[in-house]
A and B are shown apart, each in its own frame.
Chain A
């Protein structure tokens, strides 16, 4: 990974903002969500490839820019702000992330296709009995000839409905085997997808695998247990979701402020009432706090600092609380209009609700911090450089 310079990050942020501000917005999101089978824009995806955004964090050998999660998060925060519908996070952070981290040289070739925009991906790890727990895997990839036969059920994941290639976790051999990650074509025989929108209108699918035949080369890397790698992958997903939420919460706070300045009741703008002002102030403080916490965790992850995983958990706790407050208040302060499908407040509320829950909600990450014995004294609890972990 080559860290981008400050100027390069600035440039990326500006070009992404310019494009999304021009092309996107609640109306466009709604149209894609409801009027297309995929629920997102294939044309938009092509543009992302042309802009080099799909390769931002991919190796140069794959035609990427070799950036870090920070660079990807700059893009995702902008996508979050403008309610972009495309499966950027599932494809780039989870799917391509898994391949880049674990794949054999032959498997790494997939990354070139991802960068070109020719391969959409998704990770199917959680199962009906796992909840947010990351180490509960019941799916089994039994040995079959040279390859495997995959059976199991995976929980609904956004983007899985349209993925060319699914990354699926399963125990190798039998129920006591190590957990491996398998590359499964979305259209492979024996893959049954139950497609649905998520609460925020993004489409995805739950999956059932019934005797899906896989070659030996479907297994990512070797036969070692990958639970630790999956944990790290999900941490990257967690942080990417936080970045997207930061964009969404800033936009939710901004649109609420605009609305309250123009909405008049009792002969004056609602923004002139002190109770409303204080609420808006709290929303904005939370936005800035969360942005800072997420930024700190990104630095910890990209620089592979010790305790980076705890920084991610802390960022997620902060982000989840901020998402709930800001999303809820965006609706509340808009009054009845906040309840409508017409205004963006309800869309930000739902988007923030989904991002809050993805990869474990605030309570779950808090429990993780407790389990890690991370209740260090305040002086040692900096989100950037933790001794613990």
Chain B
């Protein structure tokens, strides 16, 4: 169909305002300052914000009511993401509420739901994602972390041995949802299971990976004969790939990261107004004016595509295809990088000094350039990964080639 868009629901605008007001009221001046400078937040600072959202019932707002959510429509969820992004609120850490939560409320046992969902909805437990391995990146199904079933005095369990990599925030996580190989004889996708692993289990080692922005976001996680109770298996053994695919499909429209881009575009305009060339601000430079206009065209197009996907989702009986998500991921990540590159190009007028230490709380040196410079440069470097994580742009194009074009 040429037009997928549904008529606009006016009640959504009051929700939009409510989210705005909440952000304004609940992001205090101290946190506001750190966010504006792009400083690294502590776990406690994330908790402060995410738990406030949890109490409001918004953290899992798009979960169905029976799972403890608000049953938001895709549009409501999008408004929430956009407005928190626009407000520059702390990152909505996705591993619990966006990723494993829906898997648990859809496929979990009553015990698993009772054990895990409240902590996810209130952000009192932190999760990390044990997918990628050193030898299994784009080719995730080749993963080799072994889980061997057995029985001891304490009951049925798995013994897990292997290594995961790029595990974001594993150093803060209480739990890890992990893809493990339970049947090495089966075809790659058929022998994988989905396990919930307590990060305090003996035999787990978390080792930091320092990335090009000099930050510590990701880790290697080593599992050395880690005992995992059998009741921590999600669904059926060897069906883990299906749950992983469900998780991916469930995440689909969020991948465009519209909220963060609204913020980036605002920041770009601020940077251009504050950065001088020949005594005049770059906001008066025709080259940068053109560049901002180009980026806004791309953003508007992406926004329209996201709205179209929501509408398709609501009007069609079946789920929107992964094709749409793949296209959103490609365009969203490329646009994020393009806006950050434009900011970096402007800020290069300050010699590309990179005061990474200024991103640590309590730093009291003298900043160079606009106050937000170090944070923006860090974000620029960090988001080079946007076209790599969550399925690289190359893999997303393969998905479209195969799935949509039948190649």
Contact = CB atoms under 8 A, between A and B. Distances in A.
A contact residues, range: 35 or more
Contacts of A198: 351-354
A37 interface: no
Contacts of A130: 276-279, 349
Contact of B351 (A157, A332, A339, A340): A157
Given A158-B351, A265-B142, A332-B388, A339 B282 contact: no
Interface in B270-313: 275-279, 282, 287
A340 B368 contact: no
A341 B279 CA distance: 37
Contacts of B210: 340-342
Interface in A333-367: 335-336, 338-342, 346-347, 349-350, 353-354, 357, 361, 363, 367
Contact of A199 (B349, B352, B389, B394): B352
A192 to B, nearest CB: 9
A131 B356 CA distance: 22
Contacts of A133: 277-279
B contact residues, range: 35 or more
Max chain A CB contacts within 10 Å: which of B166, B212, B381, B393? B212
Contact of B275 (A131, A158, A363): A131
A265 B377 contact: no
B211 A357 contact: no
Given A133-B277, A156-B350, A265 B345 contact: no
Nearest to B165: A336
Max chain A CB contacts within 10 Å: which of B287, B349, B389? B349
A327 to B, nearest CB: 10
Interface stretch (B1-9, B22-30, B131-139): B131-139
Given A332-B387, A336-B385, A349-B384, A156 B353 contact: yes
Given A204-B351, A349-B212, A266 B139 contact: yes
- The interface residues of chain B, by DSSP majority, are classed as mixed
Nearest to B345: A361
Contacts of B275: 131
Interface string B14-58: 000000000000000000000000000000000000000000000
Contacts of A126: 349, 351
A156 B368 contact: yes
A215 B384 CA distance: 49
A136 interface: yes
Interface in B243-280: 275-279
B209 interface: yes
Nearest to A354: B352
A92 B365 CA distance: 31
A354 B210 CA distance: 20
Interface in A196-217: 196-200, 204, 206
Contacts of A331: 212, 384, 388
Contact of B132 (A135, A332, A336): A336
Contacts of A80: none
Nearest to B366: A194
A338 B388 contact: yes
Contacts of A347: 212
Nearest to B354: A199
Interface string B362-403: 000110110000000100010011011100111001000000
A129 B393 CA distance: 39
A131 B278 contact: yes
Contacts of A255: none
Nearest to A156: B351
A132 interface: yes
B211 A341 contact: yes
20 contacts: A128-B276, A155-B350, A196-B368, A198-B352, A266-B138, A332-B387, A332-B392, A332-B393, A336-B132, A336-B137, A336-B165, A338-B384, A339-B388, A342-B209, A346-B212, A357-B345, A357-B352, A361-B348, A363-B287, A367-B287
Given A129-B279, A194-B366, A336-B166, 10 more contacts: A132-B349, A155-B349, A156-B350, A198-B351, A198-B353, A199-B353, A335-B138, A339-B211, A340-B210, A363-B287
The 4 closest A-B pairs by CB, nearest first: A131-B277, A156-B351, A133-B278, A357-B348
